[in-house]
Amino acid sequence: MHQSRTVHRAPPPNRIVPTNRLWTGEQCAAICAVFVFLFGSPAEARTVQVVPEGIPSGKPQDATVPPSQPASPAFPDDARLDTALRMLGKGALDGARQTAQTVLKAKPDCDRAAAIEGIVLNKMKRYEEAKPLLERARDSKQPFPEQKHAAHFLGWCHYHLGELSAAQKAFELHLTVVPNEPDSTFGLGLVALGEDRLDDADRYLAKALEGFSKPRDSAVDRARVLTRMADVSLRRDDPAAAEALLRRAIEASPVQHETWSKLARVCDRLGKVQEADAARANADRILTALGRKSTSDAVPTPTPTPTPTPNGSTNTDGEPKSAPSDAPEPQAPVPPKAR
């Protein structure tokens, strides 16, 4: 009897063969191991690792780490000191000093309070009292904003007290921290002039003039420097050069009584009597407007066309640049006619 046989043929290579056969546990484990090897574990794929700045990358931090707390102040401070600085800027020197003293009494370790009181005393021309406070600020290790300028104000204290060598060291120290700062450079020029080092004075004053001219022009400061450059010319017995410099100073700022007074003396030396009288009269008018000379003492001046000028301020070395805010505004003097 003929028996039929079933022939099993291999399916075409492009056909999927359904199967109901289940994998064994060993087979599943092997397949999972291959998957992990190729793609990593699902848990690792979902984890976000955050490495904050400053932490070695070998020690990742979880994303849920809370933000760091604000850093505590790096130096003893008090908000009232900012108020004292605003008062200083407005010329309220007594109030500014009292505020700084109050803070210093409450916080004896606050070098910033000592610095601000020292700066105020410098503005008040109480240089001996200012010196120890500014020396403390200069030597302070507390990084408060005014610390780098303490040597500058200390330098002006030494200069006005006639301590030229100490002034020079203080100005030079300030310039190592704030290179090319024009007012400390100006201070070095005055020290050199006081010590009769005329070439050094020329060099420092020229550099200060450039610093007060750009990037931001300060006409009043340029006038101060030009007036001192005229002093150097007079030391060299060159009144004609001094006259030219003084006229440039007056062109920059015509309300500086010192400049007019020096121009009067220079014109006297040059025999320019009318120009000397006019310059002297203008100096008197400015002093009268500032309340530093009575009207009866003032010399009559040629009839000018009054021109309002802005209120003045106090220079860093304690000398007024022009009229204080509570004084009458001086009128622009009439320049003497050049022959």
* Of the candidates 268, 305, 260, 252, the residue with the CA atom closest to the CA atom of residue 285: 260
Residues 126, 117: Cα–Cα separation, whole Å: 11
Is residue 194 scored above 60 in pLDDT? yes
Lowest mean pLDDT among 194-198, 291-295, 301-305: 301-305
Distance CA 241, CA 224 (A): 16
| Alpha carbon distance, N-terminus to C-terminus of the chain | 153
Residue identified by tokens 């021109």 is 307
Give residue limits of the domains in the chain: 180-339
Tell how far CA 238 is from the center of its chain.
37
Burial 220-229 (b: 16+ CB within 10 A, else e): bbbbbbbbbb
- What is the average per-residue pLDDT within 42-59? 42
- The structural architecture, per CATH, of the domain 180-339 is Alpha Horseshoe (1.25)
What digits encode the pLDDT tens for the residues 66-113?
444 444 567 889 999 999 999 999 999 999 999 999 999 999 999 999
Q: How long, in residues, is the chain?
A: 339
DSSP 8-state secondary structure symbol assigned to residue 49: E
- Token pair belonging to 288: 């009268």
| pLDDT over 90, % of the chain | 61
What per-residue confidence (pLDDT) applies to 25? 55
Tokens for 14, please give them. Answer: 């492009």
User: Of 25-29, 126-130, 222-226, which gets the smallest average pLDDT?
Assistant: 25-29
Question: What dihedral do alpha carbons 117, 118, 123, 124 form, nearest 10°?
Answer: 80
Least confident range of 40-44, 80-84, 123-127, 275-279: 40-44
Given this model, what pLDDT does residue 65 score?
44
DSSP-assigned letters across all residues of 273-325:
HHHHHHHHHHHHHHHHHTTSS-GGGSPP-------------B-TTS-BSS--T
Pairing of strands 49-50, 61-62: antiparallel
pTM of the model: 0.67
Mean pLDDT of 318-327: 34
**Token pair in block for residue 160:** 């006005």
Confidence grade of residue 337 (pLDDT, cut at 50, 70, 90): very low
| pLDDT-above-70 percentage for the chain | 65
